[in-house]
Amino acid sequence: MTTQILQTKPSIDDRSLLALIRNVQTREEGFRLLIRAYQVRLYNHVRTIVGSHDDTDDVLQNTFVKIFRNIEKFEEKSSLFTWIYRIATRESLNHLQSRKSHLSIESDLISPVSEKHADGYFDEETAVNRINEAIESLPEKQKMVFHLRYYEALSYQDIADITETSVGALKASYHHAVKKIESFLREQ
């Protein structure tokens, strides 16, 4: 098992990627570069929302298949980056929705936090463990906003485009998230 640093950056710009994918001769290379550019970032984004590695793996695969199958229809009215993140976000939330209904049927006793412990999500080191727990204690969408703003360093406008909510609401959400993390850490 490895430890993954959260921040990565794509090595090719979106316009070049689209050009490669739309040319039949370079399509395979284009897809591979698209995966290489976005895989780790999307993994981190999805993992922040859904929690376990296995769930993230499923959601990531679904996300990419939907990207591949619909990229020809992509009209560039938003950035490729926003479009991809929107699909990943939607897939993650759908997954959470289905997992919640599944859990409520099978067992109400399994808490998401205990699942994440079992999955090795938390670092053994106390400080890191506490940070992870603090972030995990946030409501799902607040956690997502926090991750996109702090770890992905996205602009509020980009986050607003991905989540289709207002910049003002996002700033408030981010502020609340940071305050909740702070108070969680103080209580420990």
Partner 1 sequence: MNTPRYEVEEEIKEISPGISEMLKQRRIKGIPEGYFETNENLLTALALLSVKKEHKYDDIPAGYFGKTENKVISKSVHKKNWVQPMYWMAAASMVMLLTALVFWPTTEDINTDENEMVWLYLEEQSHTLDLDDLVNAGLITEESFSEDEFPEDILYDSIDLSDWEDDL
Residues 78-97 that bind partner 1 (CB under 8 A): 78, 83, 86-87, 89-90, 93-94
The whole-angstrom separation of Cα 62 and Cα 69 is 11
Interface residues for partner 1 in 47-66 (CB under 8 A)? 47, 52-53, 57-58, 60-62, 64-66
**Residues 6+ away with beta carbon under 8 Å from 113:** 133, 136
When binding is defined by CB under 8 A, the residue of 77, 105, 108, 188 that contacts partner 1 is 77
**Residue whose CB is less far from partner 1, 78 or 99:** 78
How many chain residues bind partner 1 (CB under 8 A)? 82
- List, as own/partner pairs, every contact residues 31-36 make where C-beta atoms lie below 8 angstroms and the sequence separation is at least 24, other chains included: 31/68, 34/67, 35/64, 36/11
Interface residues for partner 1 in 2-21 (CB under 8 A)? 2-6, 9
Q: End-to-end CA distance of the chain, in Å?
A: 28
Candidate ranges 11-19, 101-109, 117-125; the one touching partner 1 (CB under 8 A) = 117-125
Smallest gap, in angstroms, from Cβ of residue 111 to partner 1? 17
Q: Find, among 174, 125, 116, the residue nearest to 147 by Cα.
A: 174
- Here the tokens at position 165 are 């909510």
Smallest gap, in angstroms, from Cβ of residue 109 to partner 1? 22
The whole-angstrom separation of Cα 111 and Cα 115 is 6
Residue pair 27/20 in contact (Cβ under 8 Å)? The answer is yes
Interface residues for partner 1 in 138-167 (CB under 8 A)? 139-142, 149-155, 158, 163-165
128 sits near partner 1 (criterion: CB under 8 A): yes
26 sits near partner 1 (criterion: CB under 8 A): no
